[in-house]
Amino acid sequence: MSQPTKTAPQQLTLWDREALDSLRAPSDSWRQRYDAEAARAVPGRVAPGRASDATEVQALHTPADLEGWSFNDELGFPGEYPLTRGIYSSMYRGRLWTMRQYAGFATAEETNERFRYLLEHGQTGLSTAFDLPTQIGYDSDHPMARGEVGRVGVAIDSVRDLEVLFDEIDIGEVTTSMTINATAATLLALYCALADRRGIALEKLGGTVQNDILKEYIARGTYIYPPAASLRLVTDTFRFCAERVPRWNTISISGYHIREAGSTAVQEVAFTLGNAIAYTEAGLSAGLDVDDFAPRLSFFFSAHNHLLEEVAKFRAARRLWARIMKERFGTTNPKAWRMRFHAQTAGSTLTAQQPFNNVVRVAVQALAAVLGGCQSLHTNSMDEALALPTEQSARTALRTQQLLAYEHGAGDAIDPLGGSFTVEAMTADLEEEATALIDEIDTLGGMVAAIEAGHVQRQIEKAAYDDQLAIESGERSVVGINCFEEEERGSPEIAVHEIPEGLEERKAAELEALRAERDNDAVARALDGLHAATSSGANLVAAILEAVKQEATLGEVADRLRDVFGEYRDPALEQPPPA
C-alpha cells in the first residue's frame, strides 16, 4: 500500500506567487556574490557542506525552497496533528525529558550499584544492558555461553538475579527500559515476577522492553526464532500488557541500531517506520484494536553528528508516523498518532583517539535530540570507545543533560527551530525521501519480505561502505582520526572494566543451587504449559510468567520455545562462499 499523500495547502500558506517571484532577483544577486567568495575559499578552512550521510547541505534556504508549504499542514501547534512540533502541548515546560543512562555490568550486584549511583545523582529512569547469552536465550552455564558471560552487559538467568539487580530500588516508582529483543517476553515476565514477589501490582509498573525483533534480522543478529514465531511473541506482548501491565511500553522500535550499522538518516527513518508498519499489521492480524495497542508503541533513534539534519530527522519521523497512523491505519485515537521516542547519542561516532573530544560530540548530539523533541535521552560517556564507563565519565554524561535542561535553556521554547527555512526544508526533504523508501518496501511485499530478500540489509551495507570510504579518503572529516591528529595517539589513563575472575564458575554454581532448591515438578508443569500454549493460541507471555514464577530459567524457557519454533538461519550466511 502506498503512503498517504500530503493534503493541498490550506488557508495559512505564508508566501504567495507574487512574493516568491519578488525573491528571484535578490536571490540571483546573492548567489553571484556567494559563488565568487566560495571560489576564493581556502581548502580545509571552510564548512564541509555535508550532512552525516555525506549528502549535500544547501548553503542558504529562502521561502522559495518552501513553495506550497502550509503552516497548518506541515507545522501546526505542539500536541496537535501532524505533531511536527512535538507530541505534547507543553513539551518540556510541562515535563522535562527522562534522563535515562544505560548500564549493564557483568554481575547483577555491580549493575545495581551503578543504578543506585545514577539515581542518587539525578537520573530519572533506568536502562539495562544484558550480556549476549541473555539476549539469545542461553543460561550462563550453557556451552554456547562460554566466554561471553557478563561481557557486554549483565547476566540474567532467573528471577533471583532480578532480585539482586533491583535491590533497594522501588520498581513501582522508577521506570525501567530493557534493551532486549529475542527474549524480551521472558525479561518482561521476570520483571513481573519480581513485582509479584514484592507485592507490587502490575498496573504500577512502568518501562519499556525493546522487543524489536525485525531490526535484529536487519542490523544486529541477536535473533533466535523465525520471523513468524518472533512476531507472535511481539503481538502476545502487546496483548498481555494491554490487559495486565497498561503503563508498559510494549516495544521500542529501534532506528538506533540501524544507524549504528551504517545507515543514512533517511534510511534510519524509513526502515524504522517500515518495521513499525509491520508490527502494526501483525497486531491487526492477531485481532488487536490498533487504537488500543498503538498508543503503547514507542521508538528509539540515534542522535548523530549533524545538528540540523538530526533535528529535521526527528521532526520528519514524527510527522510521517502521525500521517501513517491516521491515514494508512485509520486510527481515531490521537494518542496513536504520537511518536514517543527515546534518543541515544551515537556510539559509532565516538573515537578512542582523543577521547575527550567525545564530550563535545555527545553534548551537540544531545542538543539535537532535545531540539528535536525526544521524550527520553541517554548520553554516551566519553570513554565508551575504550571500555565500560567509569563512574566519573558516566556522571559527566548525565551532567551534560542536566546542563542542557537547567542552564542552557534547551527546553525553554517548544520546537525553537520550527519555521526556520533551512530546518523546514530539510524536514520536508527527509520526509519525502523516507516515504519513497517505504513505498519501495511496500512494493516488495512489506518489511518481512524485504528483510527475507536481503533488500534492506544490502542498502545499509552499501551506505556503511560508502561512509567508510569517505572517511578513508578524507572526504568526510573525523577530528582526531583523519584530521587534526596528534603524534601521541595514546589515551589518557582510563580505567578499563574487567570481568570478575571466576564469573562463569560462580554463575554455574548459582544455577546448580537454584535447580536443587526450587520445586522442579512445578517448573516442569509450567514449562509443559508453555509448550501447550504454543499450539493452542494461548498468550505466550502469560505462560512464560507462570514458568518464571516457579523459577524456571531464561534458558529453559527459550529452549522450550526452540523445540516448537526452531531457530532462524540467515539464508545469506547459509550460502557457500563463491568459488
* pLDDT single digits (tens) 164-203: 999 999 999 999 999 999 999 999 999 999 999 999 999 9
- For each of the domains in the chain, give its residue range(s) and CATH number, in order of start: 72-378+407-473 (3.20.20.240)
Residue 490 has pLDDT above 80, yes or no: no
Percent of the chain with pLDDT over 90: 79
Residue 407 has pLDDT above 60, yes or no: yes
Quick one: pLDDT band at residue 54, thresholds 50, 70, 90? Answer: low
User: What is the maximum alpha-carbon separation in the chain?
Assistant: 85
Residue 13 has pLDDT above 70, yes or no: no
pLDDT tens for 233-277 read 999 999 999 999 999 999 999 999 999 999 999 999 999 999 999
Q: How far apart are CA 418 and CA 411, in angstroms?
A: 14
pLDDT value of residue 306: 96
User: What is the end-to-end Cα distance of the chain in Å, rounded?
Assistant: 40
pLDDT value of residue 478: 94
Quick one: pLDDT band at residue 499, thresholds 50, 70, 90? Answer: confident
pLDDT value of residue 288: 94
Residue 579 has pLDDT above 70, yes or no: no
pLDDT value of residue 131: 96
Quick one: pLDDT band at residue 1, thresholds 50, 70, 90? Answer: very low
Helix (H) / strand (E) element for 344: namely: strand 341-345
Between residues 45 and 143, the one the model is more confident about? 143
| pLDDT, mean of residues 79-98 | 96
pLDDT tens for 273-322 read 999 999 999 999 999 999 999 999 999 999 999 999 999 999 999 999 99
pLDDT value of residue 8: 44
Q: How far apart are CA 177 and CA 269, in angstroms?
A: 22
pLDDT value of residue 3: 53
Least confident range from 146-155, 209-218, 563-572: namely: 563-572
Q: CA nearest 89: which of 418, 318, 414?
A: 414
Q: CA nearest 86: which of 304, 280, 264, 311?
A: 311
pLDDT value of residue 439: 98
Quick one: pLDDT band at residue 9, thresholds 50, 70, 90? Answer: very low
Least confident range from 336-350, 394-408, 564-578: namely: 564-578
Q: Which three cell numbers, joined as nine digits, stand for 287?
A: 485481532
| pLDDT, mean of residues 227-236 | 95
pLDDT value of residue 18: 79
| pLDDT, mean of residues 528-535 | 96
Between residues 9 and 485, the one the model is more confident about? 485
Between residues 487 and 66, the one the model is more confident about? 66
Task: Provide the strand spans (E) within 53-211.
Answer: 98-103, 125-129, 176-179, 207-209
Amino acid identity of residue 240, one-letter, is F
pLDDT value of residue 47: 85
Least confident range from 40-49, 94-103, 118-127: namely: 40-49
Q: With b meaning 16 or more CB within 10 Å and e meaning fewer, what string describes 74-101?
A: bbbbbbbbbbbbbbbeebbeeebbbbbb
pLDDT value of residue 389: 86
Sign of CA dihedral 118, 358, 429, 268: negative
Q: What is the mean pLDDT of the chain?
A: 92
Q: With b meaning 16 or more CB within 10 Å and e meaning fewer, what string describes 32-53?
A: eeeeeeeeeeeeeeeeeebbbb
Using only C-alpha atoms, what is the Rg of the chain?
25
Q: Are 282 and 290 a contacting pair, CB within 8 Å?
A: no
pLDDT value of residue 86: 97
pLDDT value of residue 500: 85
Torsion of CA 288, 291, 293, 297, to 10 degrees: 140
pLDDT value of residue 53: 66
Q: Are 2 and 442 a contacting pair, CB within 8 Å?
A: yes
Residue 55 has pLDDT above 90, yes or no: no
Residue 367 has pLDDT above 50, yes or no: yes
Q: How far apart are CA 328 and CA 4, in angstroms?
A: 7
Q: Is 446 exposed, middle or buried (0-12, 13-18, 19+ CB in 10 A)?
A: middle
Quick one: pLDDT band at residue 22, thresholds 50, 70, 90? Answer: confident
Residue 489 has pLDDT above 60, yes or no: no
Q: How many CA atoms lie within 13 A of 126 on its CB side?
A: 26
Percent of the chain with pLDDT over 70: 94
pTM, entire model = 0.91
pLDDT value of residue 479: 94
Q: Is 318 exposed, middle or buried (0-12, 13-18, 19+ CB in 10 A)?
A: buried
| pLDDT, mean of residues 122-149 | 95
Q: Which three cell numbers, joined as nine digits, stand for 334?
A: 490521537
Q: How far apart are CA 203 and CA 211, in angstroms?
A: 20
